[in-house]
């Protein structure tokens, strides 16, 4: 168990770096957005490309409510906090439209940043063998390589986002 504990403490600086860079990315994208708000829903009020990101809800402004481990994020925005004299990153979720991003852990913050990146970059990936378009949610994030892995349902090709074709090529 001592080895596990040692690894845990060695990982902490990396975890903090992922959290900070994710928050920095989210803030930078929000500062460029109209009204400092980016919706995770399409014009019909449905999740973009049928995919969504969920975060753990701890009651937020309503601690009397039960927690929800699968609280869908509808959008992300900046809101000025008078007490802190700064703009805070807030989540618009199904349970709370003013849920502070600091209430969620680093993995969920990273997931929000990654989902936002997918929306903002609007990158489409295609199978290099048959041209099948991989829709959002079809790939799996590989934590060892920090890349999205794909497996084509049509021809069986498998590879990562660096090996797939994109609409930017």
Return the percentage of the chain with pLDDT > 90, whole number.
41
Residues 111 and 52 in one domain: yes
Q: Are residues 27 and 84 in the same domain?
A: yes
pTM of the predicted model as reported, rounded to 2 decimal places? 0.67
135 and 117 inside one domain: no
The parent domain of residue 161 ranges over 124-169
Domain match, 44 and 118 both: yes
**Does pLDDT of 168 surpass 50?**
no
- The answer on 114 and 162 residing in a single domain is no
Q: How many domains does the chain have?
A: 2
Lowest mean pLDDT among 22-26, 50-54, 165-169: 165-169
Q: Are 158 and 129 in contact (CB under 8 A)?
A: no
158 and 108 belong to one structural domain:
no
Q: Which of 101, 106, 109, 104 is nearest to 11 (CA)?
A: 106
Same domain, 149 and 96: no
Q: Are residues 99 and 18 in the same domain?
A: yes
Residues 89 and 16 in one domain: yes
pLDDT digits (tens, 9 = 90+) for 89-125: 999 998 888 999 998 999 999 999 988 887 766 667 8
Domain shared by 86 and 133, yes or no: no
Residue 2 token pair = 């001592």
pLDDT tier for residue 3 given thresholds of 50, 70 and 90: very high
Q: Please tell me whether residues 27 and 55 are part of one structural domain.
A: yes
Looking at the structure, tell me whether residues 21 and 94 fall in a common domain: yes
């Amino acid at each position: 168990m001592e080895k596990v504990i040692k690894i845990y403490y060695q990982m902490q600086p990396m975890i903090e770096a992922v959290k900070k860079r994710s928050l920095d990315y989210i803030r930078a994208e929000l500062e460029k957005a109209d009204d400092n708000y980016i919706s995770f829903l399409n014009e019909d009020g449905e999740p973009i490309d049928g995919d969504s990101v969920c975060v753990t809800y701890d009651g937020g402004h309503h601690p009397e409510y039960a927690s929800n481990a699968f609280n869908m994020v509808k959008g992300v925005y900046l809101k000025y906090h008078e007490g802190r004299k700064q703009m805070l990153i807030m989540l618009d979720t199904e349970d709370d439209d003013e849920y502070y991003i600091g209430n969620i852990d680093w993995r969920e913050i990273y997931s929000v940043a990654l989902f936002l990146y997918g929306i903002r970059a609007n990158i489409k990936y295609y199978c290099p063998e048959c041209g099948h378009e991989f829709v959002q949610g079809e790939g799996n994030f590989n934590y060892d390589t920090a890349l999205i892995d794909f497996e084509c349902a049509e021809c069986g090709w498998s590879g990562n986002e660096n090996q797939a074709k994109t609409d930017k090529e």
